[in-house]
């Protein structure tokens, strides 16, 4: 065999070997792709995302879609990683950025799911505050063995204990600290807008002096109806803004979309501040694919969004829930919302 043939054969073998290794050799990176979008005014597999109990929800039109980032199952090999680096609709990031070391995939997913559930609470509070509902002490849970079990329920607003008003947690704590354990107290509450009274025999306080009702509470806006949010298999806090808008559309006085398809993203806190999120380039692709006419961008993500703008998809800069409502009002009026 000639020298040239030997080099050619050797090169071919090495190329095949590297190709095979690249196809099976995992790399410490993760691919992210445009994920599904969910209309907060609609349902997922027949289950409404937002359910209102205690009043008739508004007839809504259009879409207020939360956007997500997808992570394909399975480890990423060298070939797929290289392909992803050259694909505008795939982002390849260090695995550590998605799954921190020291935590399993399951632990990370559980933390992301808890962050989503916390964002639900913030979204509900921000929406009801925007609509003008007052802050009250609201039951958020009853631990096993609670003396209030069967008497109080999640969502009840605790109005008074033995005739002493409890407009905030400090007032509730003060009256319970002055009450010995095993005391039968009268708890005045409001449930779905209807006043009620329950007699609860208090338990011992876990810390300090006095007694306890055995309830977890939160100071949050209270409305005479209940809002429940159900979105399975979504993690992280980035759906907060769109969930708040969905609630406002369903129980407020304005049709926010007037039939238009709106998409967006952003965290939200109880005061209505919109925070930044990850994956904005991929979320813009998802919004483009569903035909959105406007994308609501957290103000802190605007530079990244502009660098990854999608043709035909206007973007509105929002730093607060009020900004988002103003942008939607501009769209309905035929004006251009404040852009990134």
The number of beta carbons lying within 10 Å of the beta carbon of residue 270 is 18
- For residues 24 and 328, give the distance between their C-alpha atoms in angstroms, rounded to a whole number: 48
The token pair that represents 319 in the structure block: 């730093």
The pLDDT assigned to 71 comes to: 77
Q: Report CA 145 to chain centroid distance, whole Å.
A: 31
- For residues 223 and 57, give the distance between their C-alpha atoms in angstroms, rounded to a whole number: 13
Q: Report CA 141 to chain centroid distance, whole Å.
A: 20
The pLDDT assigned to 321 comes to: 98
The pLDDT assigned to 83 comes to: 60
Pairing mode, strands 315-318 and 294-298: parallel
Q: Is 201 exposed, middle or buried (0-12, 13-18, 19+ CB in 10 A)?
A: middle
The pLDDT assigned to 18 comes to: 41
The pLDDT assigned to 269 comes to: 95
Helix H or strand E encompassing 14: helix 3-24
The pLDDT assigned to 7 comes to: 37
Nearest to 196 by CA among 155, 168, 228, 167: 155
The pLDDT assigned to 293 comes to: 98
The token pair that represents 290 in the structure block: 């569903």
The pLDDT assigned to 32 comes to: 75
- Tell me how far CA of residue 150 lies from CA of 153, 183, 196, 260, 312, in angstroms: 7, 17, 13, 44, 55
Contacts of residue 114, defined as CB under 8 A and 6 or more positions apart, other chains included, come to: none
Burial 285-306 (b: 16+ CB within 10 A, else e): bbbbeeebbbbbbbbebbebbe
CB 292 within 8 A of CB 67: no
The number of beta carbons lying within 10 Å of the beta carbon of residue 189 is 25
- For residues 7 and 98, give the distance between their C-alpha atoms in angstroms, rounded to a whole number: 43
pLDDT tens-place values along the chain, 340 residues long:
454 444 343 344 333 444 444 444 565 677 778 999 999 999 998 899 999 999 999 999 899 999 999 877 666 666 565 565 556 777 776 667 766 777 776 777 777 778 877 889 999 999 999 999 999 999 999 999 999 999 999 999 999 999 999 999 999 999 999 999 999 999 999 999 999 999 999 999 987 789 999 999 999 999 999 999 998 878 788 999 999 999 999 999 999 999 999 999 999 999 999 999 999 999 999 999 999 999 999 999 999 999 999 999 999 999 999 999 999 999 999 999 999 9
């Amino acid at each position: 065999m000639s020298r040239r043939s030997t080099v050619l054969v050797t090169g071919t073998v090495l190329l095949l070997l590297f190709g095979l290794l690249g196809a099976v050799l995992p790399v410490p990176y993760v691919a992210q792709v445009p994920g599904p979008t969910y209309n907060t005014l609609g349902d997922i597999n027949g289950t409404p995302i937002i359910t209102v109990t205690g009043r008739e929800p508004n007839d809504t039109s259009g879409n207020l879609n939360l956007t997500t980032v997808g992570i394909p199952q399975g480890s990423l090999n060298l070939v797929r990683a290289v392909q992803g680096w050259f694909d505008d609709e795939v982002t390849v990031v260090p695995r550590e950025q998605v799954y921190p070391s020291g935590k399993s995939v399951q632990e990370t997913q559980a933390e992301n799911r808890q962050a989503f559930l916390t964002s639900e609470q913030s979204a509900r509070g921000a929406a009801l505050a925007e609509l003008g509902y007052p802050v009250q002490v609201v039951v958020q849970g009853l631990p096993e063995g609670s003396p209030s079990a069967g008497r109080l329920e999640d969502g009840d607003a605790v109005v008074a204990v033995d005739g002493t008003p409890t407009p905030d947690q400090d007032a509730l704590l003060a009256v319970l600290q002055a009450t010995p354990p095993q005391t039968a107290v009268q708890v005045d509450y409001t449930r779905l807008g209807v006043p009620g009274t329950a007699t609860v025999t208090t338990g011992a306080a876990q810390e300090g002096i006095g007694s306890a009702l055995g309830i977890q509470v939160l100071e949050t806006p209270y409305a005479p109806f209940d809002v429940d949010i159900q979105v399975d298999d979504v993690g992280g806090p980035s759906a907060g803004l769109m969930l708040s808008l969905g609630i406002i559309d369903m129980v407020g006085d304005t049709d926010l979309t007037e039939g238009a398809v709106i998409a967006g993203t952003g965290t939200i806190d109880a005061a209505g501040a919109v925070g930044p999120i990850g994956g904005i380039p991929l979320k813009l692709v998802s919004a483009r694919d569903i035909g959105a006419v406007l994308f609501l961008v957290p103000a802190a993500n605007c530079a990244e969004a502009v660098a990854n703008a999608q043709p035909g998809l206007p973007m509105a800069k929002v730093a607060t829930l009020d900004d988002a409502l103003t942008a939607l009002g501009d769209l309905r009026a035929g004006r251009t919302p404040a852009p990134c």
